[in-house]
Amino acid sequence: MAFVEGSHHVTLSVAHAQEDVDFHVKVLGLRFIKRTVLFDGSLPIYHLYYSNANGDPSSVVTTFPWAQAGFFGKRGTNQAREVLLSIPHDSMNYWHQRLTEHDVEVTDIERFGQRRLAFRHPSGIEYVFVGNSDDQRVGHTGHGVPQEHAIHGLHGVGVHMTTPDRMVEFASESFFSQGQLAEEGDVAALQVGNQKYGNHIEITVNRTDDQGTWRYGAGTYHHFAWNVATLENQDEVKFGIEGQGYTDISELKDRKYFKSVYVRTPSGALFELAVTHAEGGWTCDESPQELGTKFQLPEQFEDRRAEIFSQLEPISI
């Protein structure tokens, strides 16, 4: 029987590479696990990866820095919007102070009866810290973040759309939703898969913003990836989605560290069905201790290594 296990990673179109590294590594304390390039197209663009301590699926944030190429997007409705990250419930005060000390504007909000923290990536993308008391993923203790406050990984994805019923229908009939968890005002929360963490979809009814862009462009969400565990299950999930009439779905793409299929959902958000490579995942080209220290390229770009590297922004950790 087909299933979605939980989340896998999120991919964002950000602005400049160094400010992205500084934000995720030096402010949020995430582990820098991979520096490579965008596999699609011919334009050299970094693909940067950050994670919790163990690089767990459901903990990874990846980014494409587009400002150098002059590509900018527009946040709006019918688009994925919020990066929801899981932290310990008791860590809200710590993170409010740390973000403020790093000149990141942070706002206390309440959602579903619980305190959250809302802030933004330097490129404008919206982030939210969500408290979870039963999250066993191990956070990374980078740049002074203590273990008891470290980020566990993803909590889920926030999506804005004009017609939420269509997304609820897709989630329940084609994407293994466990049903609606909560509803508050214009926001409804769903859970996909059986894990207790990392697999939430929060749908915001948004009929005031203009349509957001879907192409690559700094300042926007690109896609949210779900872990479907095996290639056989990936096929079953894909065929099930297509069988419901959602035919805006890609062929299998080999991303070196995982194999992926992409589907455009009724919300406008792009979802990925990901399977970590059986040949090693993040450690197929670097040891666990070396992760993120070497510039990696897919085989088809190796003969252009010097050219590509010379065109990318220099970054330091």
Confidence of residue 180 (pLDDT cuts 50, 70, 90): confident
- What's the pLDDT at 238? 97
- What's the pLDDT at 236? 97
Per DSSP, the residues of 155-222 read EEEEEEES-HHHHHHHHHHHS-EEEEEEEETTEEEEEESS-SSS-EEEEEE--SSPBPP-SS-BTEEE
Residue 273: exposed, middle, or buried by beta-carbon count in 10 A (0-12, 13-18, 19+)?
buried
pLDDT at 198 over 90: yes
Q: What's the mean per-residue pLDDT of the chain?
A: 95
Least confident of 153-157, 194-198, 214-218, 293-297: 194-198
CA distance 69 to 116: 34
* pLDDT tens per residue across span 13-28: 999 999 999 999 999 9
pLDDT at 226 over 80: yes
Contact, 274 vs 49, CB < 8 A?
no
* pLDDT tens per residue across span 52-80: 999 999 999 999 999 999 999 999 999 99
Q: Six-digit token pair at 21? A: 């590294």
- What's the pLDDT at 67? 96
pLDDT at 280 over 90: no
What domains can you pick out in the chain, each with its CATH number?
A: 6-311 (3.10.180.10)
Confidence of residue 106 (pLDDT cuts 50, 70, 90): very high
Confidence of residue 133 (pLDDT cuts 50, 70, 90): confident
The beta strand positions in the chain, using DSSP E, are 6-14, 31-37, 46-51, 60-65, 79-87, 107-111, 114-120, 126-131, 153-161, 177-184, 187-192, 200-205, 220-227, 253-254, 258-264, 270-276
Confidence of residue 7 (pLDDT cuts 50, 70, 90): very high
Confidence of residue 193 (pLDDT cuts 50, 70, 90): confident
Confidence of residue 179 (pLDDT cuts 50, 70, 90): confident
- What's the pLDDT at 160? 98
Kindly report the pTM of this predicted structure.
Answer: 0.97
